[in-house]
Amino acid sequence: MRIGQLSEYTGTPRRLLRYYEEQGLIISSRAANGYREYDERYVDRVLQIRGLLDAGLPTRVIKQILPCLSKPRTIHISDATPETIATLERERDRINERIQCLARSRDALTDYLDALRGAQGPDDPQADPVSAFSSGVVSSLTPEPA
């Protein structure tokens, strides 16, 4: 498929697909006229890239770990220096830290929402019996929620 198709399937502006290529995240073959030509597998690939970018990984890091994320593994093995391995391990650890951080926030957010629902918005009959009661104390550590 060409860039327009891939753009449509992945909801990614053409500009960005070219940018990802420029950053070495994807590779395109060219038709005789110079048009980029993509494999169907690029749809998932691009969605994965976008997910990782959205999760805060820079293209530089994504470029490093992408080759390890292909479905049919048992490829790309054998070209691994100790430094490569160390780098990948470091990135994996960093990803783990991100996950932990996000999970903590998600859990706190969930608790907060549960408390809110328990306190005043029980329009949803699934509300948990969380004994939440409000006070007027304001921490002043943070601004008001929007």
Partner DNA sequence: TTAAACCGTCACATAAATGTGAATGTCAAG
Partner DNA sequence: CTTGACATTCACATTTATGTGACGGTTTAA
Options 74, 125, 126, 129; binder of a copy of itself; rule CB under 8 A: 74
Out of 10, 26, 36, 45, name the contact with DNA by CB under 7 A: 36
Query: Which stretch in 1-9, 11-19, 65-73 sits in contact with a copy of itself by CB under 8 A?
Result: 65-73
Residue type, 50: R
> Cα 64–66–68 angle (5° rounding)?
95
Structure token pair of residue 85: 């391995």
Is residue 51 near DNA by the rule CB under 7 A? no
Judged by CB under 8 A, the residue of 11, 34, 126, 134 near a copy of itself is 134
**Residue 58 engages DNA in binding (rule: CB under 7 A):** yes
Q: Rule CB under 7 A: is residue 19 a binding residue for DNA?
A: yes
* Binding status of residue 94 toward DNA by CB under 7 A: no
Pick the binder of DNA from 9, 47, 48, 53 (CB under 7 A): 53
Say whether residue 9 binds DNA (CB under 7 A). Answer: no
Q: Which does 13 bind (CB under 5 to 8 A by kind): a copy of itself, DNA, none?
A: DNA
47 binds DNA (CB under 7 A): no
CA 77 from centre of chain: 25
Instruction: Establish if 2 lies at the interface with DNA (CB under 7 A).
Output: yes
Q: What does the alpha-carbon distance between residue 17 and residue 129 come to, in Å, rounded to a whole number?
A: 48
Measured CA to CA, the distance from residue 62 to residue 25 in angstroms comes to 7
| Cα 94 to Cα 100: distance, rounded to the nearest angstrom | 10
**Residue-by-residue DSSP string for 60-93:** HHHHHHGGGG-SS-SSSTT---HHHHHHHHHHHH
